Structure 1
Amino acid sequence: MADPTERNSAWIRRYHPRSDSDVRLVCLPHAGGSASFYHPVSAAMPPSVDVVALQYPGRQDRRAEPCATSIAELADEAVAELLPWADRPLLFFGHSLGATLGFEIARRLENDHGIVLGGLFVSARRAPSRVRVETVHLRDDQGVLAEIRRLNGTDAGLLTDPEVQRMVLPAIRADYRAIETYRYEPGPKLRCPVVCLIGDDDPKVTLDEARAWAKHTEGPFTLRAFAGGHFYLSAHQAPIVGLIAGHAATAVSPNTPYPTVQGPTTA
Structure 2
Amino acid sequence: MTTETTETMETTRTTEFPELIARTPYLWRAGRPESAFRLICLPHAGAGAAAYADWARLLPPEIELVAVQLPGRQNRIAEDPFTEVGPLVTTLTHALRPVLDRPYAFFGHSCGAALAFELAKAVRARGRRGPEHLFLSAQASPEFEGTPQLHQLDDDAFRAEMVALGGIDEEILRDESVMRSLIPVLRTDFTLWERHRTAPAEPLDCPITVLCGDSDPRTPTGSVTGWGKHTGADFSVRFYPGGHFYFLESGAGDVVSFLSRQLLGAPVDGRTS
**TM-score, with length taken from structure 1:** 0.87
Equivalent-residue separation in structure 1 for 2:157 and 2:33 (angstroms): 44
Q: Are the structure 2 counterparts of residues 86 and 157 from structure 1 closer, same or farther at C-alpha, using a change threshold of 3 Å?
A: closer
CA RMSD between the two structures: 2.2
- 1:135-194 CA distances to partner (integer Å, 9 max, x unpaired)? 322333322211111111213552242211222122111101111111121111111011
Deviations 1:203-260 (A, max 9, x none): 001112111111110011121111110000121422211111112213xxxxx9x98x
Percent same amino acid among aligned pairs?
A: 34
Question: Which amino acid in 2 is paired with 1:99?
Answer: A
Does the alignment pair 1:49 with 2:91? no
Match of 2:34 in 1: 20
Q: Within 5 Å, which residues of 2 pair with 1:86-165? A: 86-132=100-146, 134-156=148-170, 158-165=172-179
Structure 1 equivalent of residue 14 of structure 2: none
Instruction: Compute the displacement of 1:69 (Å).
Output: 0.6
Instruction: Name the stretch that deviates more: 124-133 or 26-35.
Output: 124-133
**Distance verdict in 2 for CA 1:108–1:148, change over 3 Å:** same
User: Shift of residue 19 of structure 1?
Assistant: 0.9
2:12 aligned partner: none
1:240 is aligned to: 255
Q: For the Cα contact (< 8 Å) 1:135–1:180, is it kept in 2?
A: yes
Q: Which has the higher contact order (CA 8 A, sep 6+)?
A: 1
Structure 1 CA distance, aligned partners of 2:46 and 2:145? 21
Shift of 1:94: 0.4
Match of 1:78 among 69, 92, 99: 92
Distance 1:199 1:8 in 2: 32
- Show CA shifts across 1:24-49 (max 9, x none): 11000011111111011122101100
Q: TM-score, normalised by structure 2?
A: 0.86
Kept in 1, the 8 Å contact 2:147–2:218? The answer is: no
Q: Secondary structure of 1:27's match? A: strand
Question: Secondary structure of the residue that 2:38 maps to in structure 1?
Answer: strand
Alpha-carbon distance in structure 2 between the residues aligned to 1:132 and 1:68:
25
Partner of 1:10: 25
Structure number with greater Rg is: 2
Identify unmatched segments of 5+ residues in structure 1.
1-6, 251-255
- How many positions carry a matched residue from both structures? 251
Change (3 A) 1:138 1:208: closer
Answering whether residue 249 of structure 2 is matched by residue 230 of structure 1, we say no
1:253 is matched with none
